[in-house]
Copies of this chain bind each other. A is one copy, B any other.
Amino acid sequence: MPKLGMEPIRKAALVKATIAEIGAAGSLDVTVSQIARRAGMSTALAHHYFGNKEQMFLAAMRHVLSIYGAEVRGALATADGPRERLRAIIRVSFAAGSFRSEVVGAWLNFYVLAQTVPEAKRLLRIYQRRLRSNLLAELRPLVGGDASDVADGLGALIDGVYIREALSDGAPDGAAAARLVLAYLSCRIDGTGANRG
């Protein structure tokens, strides 16, 4: 049956299965068997393409991060003015592309992975830095010298909402999550807690 050019297909299936398994298990304690089974192949093949489990985890992380990055770019492309661009970044952070229970569950575990795997830490740092610089660029014209503080606050708040979501039952409520973060933003840039628009 060996059709050629399977590598990217298999890898993609494994990445997807890895995220799903970690999300479903709520832990990094998933076996290569489970991942391979979900992806519809043998464990030997999974090892063949990724070498070891850690590489599968890292590929899954890169995938989640790149999806998120693409969504942010997409959202920014159609948003005008600092206020709207900030709102767009926040809204997209809780949009259906990333704010799904399996992804949230995986996200939490990527933080744990980053404690022991330097490459995972590096990836998470890149995400944090990029988010921070995106926020800073729009915040500076609005709050000047406080931009740095506000950006840190927003970053921490977004992460906090994410992990709290991992603990709740039921499907994530992205709208509510976004509202919460938008309220923080409004307060810092308009001096009000109200969240209109």
A-side residues, CB < 8 A to B, are: 25-29, 105, 108-109, 111-112, 114-116, 121, 124-125, 128, 143, 146, 149-150, 152-153, 155-161, 163-164, 166-167, 180, 183-184, 187-188, 191-193
Contacts and interface: CB of A to CB of B under 8 A. Distances in A.
Contact of A163 (B111, B125, B193): B111
A160 B156 contact: yes
B166 A115 contact: yes
B166 A157 contact: no
A20 to B, nearest CB: 14
Q: How many copies does the complex hold?
A: 2
Q: Is the interface of A mostly helix, strand, loop or mixed?
A: helix
Given A111-B167, A112-B108, A160-B161, A193 B143 contact: yes
A159 B166 contact: no
Contact of A180 (B109, B128, B156, B192): B156
Contacts of A143: 193
B108 A111 contact: yes
A26 B128 CA distance: 19
B114 A167 contact: yes
B193 A149 contact: yes
Given A166-B111, A191-B192, A116 B156 contact: no
A188 B157 CA distance: 14
6 contacts: A27-B28, A109-B112, A128-B164, A155-B164, A159-B160, A187-B187
A143 B192 CA distance: 12
Contacts of A161: 156, 160
